[in-house]
Amino acid sequence: MKLAKYFLTATVILTAWLAAPQARAGVAFTNLVFFTYTNAPNYGWNFEIYLGHASALAQGNDGNFYGTTFGGGNVPGYAGGGDGTVFKMTPGGAFTSLYSFGSVGDWNGNPGGDGRGPEGNLTKGADGNLYGTTVFGGNLSGVSEGTIFEITTNGIFNSIYSFGHNMAGNPQFNFAYTNTDGGSPTAGVVQDSAGNFYGTTTSLGSGDQGTIYQLTSGGTLNTLFMFPYDTNAAFSVDGGHPSSELTEGPDGNFYGTTYWGGTNNNGTIFRITTNGTFTPLYSFSSIARATSTPLLLGKDGNFYGTAQGGNSGNGSGIIFQFTTNGVFTVLHTFFFDGGTSGLIQGSDGNFYGTTSQGGPYDFPYGGGTIFQMTTNGTLTTLYSFSGPDGQEPDGGLVEGKDGNLYGTTSYGGPNWNSASPVNSGYGTIFRITVPPAFQSITRTNGIASLTWSAMSNQVCQVQYSTNLASTNWINLGNPITVTNSPIFVADSAATNSQCFYRIMLTQ
């Protein structure tokens, strides 16, 4: 970065550069875990199957990460391959399988009374325990419509609720349209300040289009809203088949999306109050449809999200902004990059996410990417997956307390087969370190003012040199532990005709 007449050049380096060649310079990528399906010790397979949803990691109060796999485990499942797991991983990658679904039999003695196929995001409750859902299974007679569960950080499991009431005992499921609590909760739950949980089911309800529910802290489920039949005029307004987690807005209401319905049958954005007042806010267009990723409440008070399609149908996904007064703006359109995961906003202010396909590798559709997007829509690819390091990162990212980003891939790893690369391998868990970045440098009256961004809890050292070729860089002040971004540093001795600055990430 050069300034006017007296050139100041900003560079950013990372002390331990571990990145593979395809990563952007300075970004460090590390594989932490390779799943092994039904083999010890890394039980599980993190593939996605139902409406493209895959779970993201959650960090517990103990600093460890927790997540689920849709299949695998150490108990033969409904189809013989395991019904999924809950696992724990330390930030350094030490992996423990906490629970295998199918450990409790259903009403007929088959696996799945405790649930089958956890696909939604885990959420950390106010009590420090983890809460989630399964798409299938449960303890109702003749019904396998999913569950809500609780698990402690040391693996004590409790099945809280089984979906499919009003259907029990009916082998033909003819009571689907009289069902009131819904079925197949693809998405996980979120908790409000009162301790209640909120979530969606993708199917059943009075219209067989899904529901929105509240689960009280005492375990009572209240259905707040049932989406209408797809032949009902209300379907073209309200939508149907919600498959993403809800997001609490600044007004205390919850916001979400539907996969179908709306005026173009491509999904909707809606709001619902805690007492069940439902308001449709937006219908996705004929060239962009909602996905199963949740909305993100940005630091600016607006919502951000991802959708399929875009750009007159030629794109393969978009990132959008949705304001509280209903203005929808496309910030970025992907081309041939597959679907996009849910967004997070890093502590540095930028947005981060993944694409399930794309990148420079020429096996079908590419292995997927990790990207960064600024608040004005400038997108940078941080890393591209090649297969052995993972493929198809469908789950969202999470920022750890150490300032690193953590995520999963649905496929890839050591079992990935280059001769048959599609849906090959059992998936991975990875970490990516994004280095600090200069935003601006100015000099006035011999004082250089440096502005830069970094993730919270990164420890950074600003250095300077008057000769870029020199190996003798001088520390400017003491190391800085980042608490807020952007960071401002002044060099009051910047009187040379040229001076170079860099930031070292020291841990």
Q: 196-209 as b/e, with b when 16 or more CB fall inside 10 Å?
A: bbbbbbbbbbbbbb
> How many residues does the structure list for the chain?
507
Q: What is the dihedral of CA 264, 265, 271, 273, to 10 degrees?
A: 140
Structural domains in the chain plus CATH codes: 1-26+436-507 (2.60.40), 43-192 (no CATH)
Task: Give the angle subtended at the CA of 421 by the CAs of 418 and 426, to the nearest 5°.
Answer: 105
Whether 365 contacts 354, CB under 8 Å: no
Residue 206: the pLDDT is: 85
Q: Is 238 helix (H, G, I), strand (E, B) or coil?
A: helix
| pLDDT tens for each residue of the chain, 507 residues long | 333 222 333 444 333 222 233 345 689 999 999 999 999 999 999 887 666 678 899 999 999 999 999 999 999 876 667 899 999 999 999 999 999 999 988 777 777 899 999 999 999 999 999 999 999 999 988 788 999 999 999 999 999 999 988 875 555 555 456 688 999 999 999 999 999 999 999 999 988 899 999 999 889 999 999 998 888 888 889 999 999 999 999 999 999 999 999 999 999 999 999 999 999 999 998 778 888 889 999 999 999 999 887 655 455 789 999 998 899 999 998 876 556 788 999 999 999 999 988 888 766 677 899 999 999 899 999 999 999 999 999 889 999 999 999 999 999 999 998 888 888 899 999 999 999 988 888 888 878 899 989 999 999 999 988 888 878 899 999 999 999 989 999 988 766 667 888 898 886
pTM, 2 dp: 0.91
- Name the 3-class secondary structure at 375: coil
Q: Which two tokens stand for residue 309?
A: 């399609």
Tell how far CA 193 is from the center of its chain. Answer: 22
Of 341, 424, 360, the closest CA to residue 388 belongs to 424
Beta strands 303-309 and 317-322: pairing type?
A: antiparallel
pLDDT at 495: 64
In three-state secondary structure terms, 119 is coil
Identify the burial level of 13 via C-beta atoms within 10 angstroms of its C-beta, where 0-12 means exposed, 13-18 middle and 19 or more buried. middle
